[in-house]
Every structure is written in C-alpha cells, then in structure tokens.
Chains A and B, each alone.
Chain A
C-alpha cells in the first residue's frame, strides 16, 4: 500500500483544482528558500489545495493551514506532494 502511494508522488505545480494534496518534501539546494517555505507551513504532512491561477497560469494561489499562499510554478515544482 505504501509503495502504491509513493508512486503517485508529483510536485505542487502538478496539483489540479479538484485535488487534495499533501506535502512530502521540499527538494532544493537553496537553504533560505527551504527554511522560508517551512516557516510558512510547507512541511511533510501538510494538506494543500490549489485555489486559483493568475491570468497567465503563473503564479498560483494555494490553500494550506487556513491561509492563501501565492507561489510561482518554478518554486512549486520544488515541492513534492502526494495526491490523495
């Protein structure tokens, strides 16, 4: 079962509008960005949904921990999630 779930691992940028995601890991070499994301609640296990996209599809707004976070797709691609 655990194996099956991990094969569904995507990045935050792949999250669709009706999907429920859960943060797995931040994959980046940039320590400052990583700590910044962590302090905003992007840690393993945090549920996250896609709220809406800007007119040109980038950046996008995500809902997590009861607030709205705007992120560019380039950054969202560094956040691994699993889709429930």
Chain B
C-alpha cells in the first residue's frame, strides 16, 4: 500500500469516533455526549509499527445515502476520497442500529476494520458479543475498545498496520432477494458498458445499488446517460409493483434483516436487558418530568450562573491583590515619564482589569463541560423544542445557543446540526445574541458595582435576556427571510454518561488558555492603543490656562480651601485633556447617538472599542479611569459615574450590540454571504439601541 496509509474513522454520530481519534493520535479534539460535535474532518499523521498512517476523523453519519446536509461532509468523504482503510466505529451498546451503516460500508468494497467501542458499558449491562462470529459475518477484523479509557487502542493500531501491509482480500458482499439481485445485476451491466474497464466489480455493484436507492448525487453524475436513468426508473417501478414498497425501503429492510439475524446469533444477553438503562431511566423520570422538567432546566441554569459569579469572586480577589502588587512594583521601579504612564495606566490597567475575570470564565466552562458531557444538553433541546417551535426555532438550535454562552464563533459553526438551510441561517443570525464569555466580565463588573446584593441573579438575568432576544429575533427573522419550512425534530437521546475528569479539566484548561491568550494579545494591544488615543495629541488648546491658574493657587498660603481648589483644577484639566484626546474626540462625535440612552462619551468609547472583542470594554474603562482619577478601584469609580438605570441600559446594550469582529467573519463565511454578516451588525445595533432605551427609561422610574 502507498504511504502514508489513509485510515478513515467512520461511525454513527455520538459513537465515539472523535474520542477514538484522540486516543489514537494524542489529539485533543472536542468531544461531548450529544450528536454532531464534530462537523468537519480532523486529520493527523502518526506512525505505528513502522507504518505511517494518516488518520481521518469523519463527522458522524447514520448512512451513506441520507443526503441530509449535516451528513454531507461524511458521505462525500467516503464517496470521493476512497480511504485506504475504513475503521468502522460502532457504539457496541447500539449495534442494532449502527450495523446499518456497516452494511453500506461493506458495499463500498474498501478494506474495513470493525471497532466495537464503549465495550465497558456493554459488559456492565451483562451482554456478551461473539466477535469471532461477527468478524466472519462482516468480513473484517473486529477490535473491542473503550476509547475514553484508551483501552484496545494498541490492538486497533496493530490491526490497521497489519491490514496496511497485506493485499486486500476480495471484498464480501451482502445478498438481497432474487428480484433485487437481478435488478442490481442489470444496472451493473449497463454501467460497465457505459464505462468499460473503469469500474471494478465491487465498485459497479456499489454504484448500481446507490442508483437504485435513488442517490441523487450519483444519479446527477450519470445524468447525461438518459437510457441508464430510464432503466433505473423502470427497475424501481417494477420492484415497487412486485413488493408494494419503494426500492430504498426494500434495501433498508434487507440490511436490517441481515444485521438483526447476525445479532441474534452473535449477541447474548445475561440477566436483565434493561439493566444498563436503568440509571438513565431514573434520571429521565426526574429531568424530563412533565411538570418539573422545565423549571429544573431554569434552576440548573440559575445555579450555573450564580456559581459562576459567586464562586469566581474568591480567586478573583487573589488575582486582584496580585495585580495590585505588580502594579505598585512597576509604578515604583520605572522612572517617571511617558513609558511609565503607558505601562501603569495603559498595559497594567487594561490587562490587569481584565485578567481578574479568569476564574469566572473557567467556572463557566466547567459547567458547560458538565452539561454537554453528561447528555443533559440533548435533553434540554428535547424539553425546549415545543417552546422554541412557537418562535419558529428548532429544539436542536438550543445546542448552538448554549455553545454561544462560551463563544459565539463555535456557536455559529455548531448551527451545522440544523438540516434546513433557512432554519440554519436564522440560527446563525441569532447566535450572536448569546451572552458569550467575553461579555461576562462587563456584567460581573457592572452587577458587582451597582447591584452587589443580587449580582448573581443580575448575571443570570442577562443570560435569560440573551435567550429572549434570540427568540424574539427568530420570530422577526422568520417573517423577513423568504421561504418557509423548518426541520423535523429527529434526535437521539444518548444515555447519561459521566464525563471523564480529563475531558472536563481539558475543557477548563482550554478556556483558561484561550482567555489568557486573548488578554495578552488583543487586550494588551487594545490597551496600548487606547492609552495612546487618550494621551494624544499633547498640544491641547485648553479652555483656560491651567498652568498659570495652578501656579497662582499654589502661591497662596496653605489652607483646606487651597487643597480643594487645586484638586478641582487638576481633575478639570485631566477631564478636558481626555475629552480633547483622539479617543475623546471620536467618542464625543458618536455620543449624540447614545445620548437618549444616557451614555457619556466614556461609555461610547468603551462601546466602540468593544467592536474588536467585548472584553476590551472593561479594558477601556480601566485605562480611562486609571488616567483620569488615578484610581485602581474600577468598581468604586464606576458606581459614581452613572445612575443604576443607565448601568442597566449599558449592560443591555453591551449584551446585544453588534457581534465582535471574529463572529462577523464567521457568519460571513458560514452563511457564504457578507450581506448577512452586514445585516447581523445593523440589526443587532438597532435592536440593542431600542431595548437599552426602553430598559433605561423603565429602570429610571423605579430605581
């Protein structure tokens, strides 16, 4: 065989092929306990036993012929790339269903290895599988694994290496009933006259079956052969006449008949067959309870956000102390001058003001890992489907939406779980309303400053508002975007599983790394840029000659009045200097837009810089106030800067206004249209403005 040998991991969604990929290659791709976590091909090269292998993790598919968009990447890969070896990953607990894909893979004629994954669950349920019998019936070696525990990985690699160095055996074939076989034979012959010498017998049989099954893709390939298409139509009609069923159903039934027969012989159940699902049943009686289910979902989310705020506060205080110590140290050791100011008031204020939110982010991601790893997220979509259906959304949309609490970029990518194109576009456009972790620092800062007693609940309320904004937008978009029709809700509910400690820790570590990278990257650069923008130009034409006035005051005899007057003068000068800086001037230019919302030019500046990434909002405040008041107590300063109603309006505006640059870019890419990306910006800005105005006005009458 050629080198490297391409090995494709192919299996049903949630069968664990990504976990196996990680175990085989040492990669750290995201895994969870719901379907379609993997939406694109993952590739890694490794060497085993002197053979170099190119391992490809193919997104999960239920069949090679369903032609639904979410399975397209996987199906196309098998059709067009023809990997050297297919490793067919089966969830050993769900063999009845997953052997269907195996029967289709048999027909590709490609060398295969069958992997029975999650064998630990099966053994625990008292099920015995005769792998020798399975291997001979499926015409492939069978390897038992438990990918999460890295069991059976070496055995699998040995089997792959052994297969790579031998010539492939004649592929086995599945036999259908005589009518089907005769039809397949005739189409096969027609194909070989059309493409003489091009097709191996296995390949032409496979093509014939696919065409009879009605595979549009392959039929389109042959669309210039009208007689072939005509023949297929004729065969389909004859078969339908004979069996009172369409050909696709006949083939599907025959495949399941094969796998059911095989399992009757190869699988033995000892003890109670439902034992394995008992725990899932008990938990579902609770979590999917008809009266308790939805309140529980809300309760779980509340606990999650409350804990994100309150548990995070403790380590945040430690980091604050550390930042203070570092700032003092730098403050004392650097000589007075512009560089000193840049470092202390720009870099230390901006970076230090943002890094303190690291614990909150890590805690949030801990909860997200638990939700998605246990299988609860799939249940949440089930619970919410009806409610979301009212808003023209689909239950499965909840998965990208909850992913959006982490970051909107993967949320937009996760909309690939949605089959219908229009429904997917709508999901993509509402994803940016999801309160991503970049906005969390803003809310923690503001909620802590203005509503310290109920801060956790205020943060929770912002998350709920983000969901409501998304729902309302969905209704509007459903009216605006032409077309109709949603998706069928078809979703497998996986059994509850305990996420491995490793995967949870990995999730948290990943988010911590990402946040630190952002703080030391875009936040650092942003802080420096903002510092320069607020420091320059230096030759400001002040409204009064501060130097002279200050000198006059200083010459007076010491008194408390003199001190106060000097302080007022200094603050007035700093204020004017800021207002006439580049930052101040540009912010003041757009401030009329925000006047109705009660925002000052400082708030406008924070909003403008937040376009780049929303963490910069906090950094901007930190830099501005560090300069103006010389205060590092951001919370205190902020509290005095605006009334609580304006704080609410600002939080709402920050929550909803324009997605950050990366999100705009990913929308453009995934929707394959920059018009929709632009629409998203304009739409969310107007939406945010209106809602902030309303909230500020209503809040103003109560607070």
Contacts and interface: CB of A to CB of B under 8 A. Distances in A.
A53 to B, nearest CB: 7
Contacts of A54: 288, 290, 293, 382-383, 385-386
A3 to B, nearest CB: 16
Contact of B248 (A38, A46, A56, A61): A38
B282 interface: no
B454 interface: no
Interface stretch (A4-12, A14-22, A70-78): A70-78
Nearest to A65: B96
B490 A38 contact: no
Given A71-B489, A75-B488, A53 B290 contact: yes
Contacts of B68: 32, 36
B491 A38 contact: no
Given A32-B68, A35-B65, A35-B66, A40 B490 contact: yes
A33 B488 CA distance: 8
A69 B492 contact: yes
B253 interface: yes
B256 A35 contact: no
B290 A55 contact: yes
Contacts of A45: 253, 256
A40 B65 CA distance: 12
Given A45-B253, A52-B288, A70-B489, A59 B382 contact: yes
A59 to B, nearest CB: 5
Interface residues of A, number: 36
B489 A59 contact: yes
A75 B386 CA distance: 14
Given A35-B66, A38-B249, A41-B96, A55 B489 contact: no
Interface string B225-267: 0000000000000000000010011001100100000000000
B490 A71 contact: yes
Nearest to A44: B253
Interface in B322-342: none
B4 interface: no
A78 to B, nearest CB: 9
Given A39-B65, A53-B290, A61-B288, 14 more contacts: A33-B488, A35-B248, A38-B252, A40-B62, A41-B96, A41-B97, A43-B256, A44-B249, A54-B290, A61-B493, A68-B492, A69-B492, A70-B493, A72-B385
A8 to B, nearest CB: 19
A48 to B, nearest CB: 12
B83 interface: no
Given A32-B66, A55-B293, A75-B488, A39 B493 contact: no
13 contacts: A33-B488, A35-B67, A35-B248, A41-B100, A43-B252, A54-B293, A58-B385, A59-B385, A65-B94, A66-B95, A68-B493, A70-B490, A75-B488
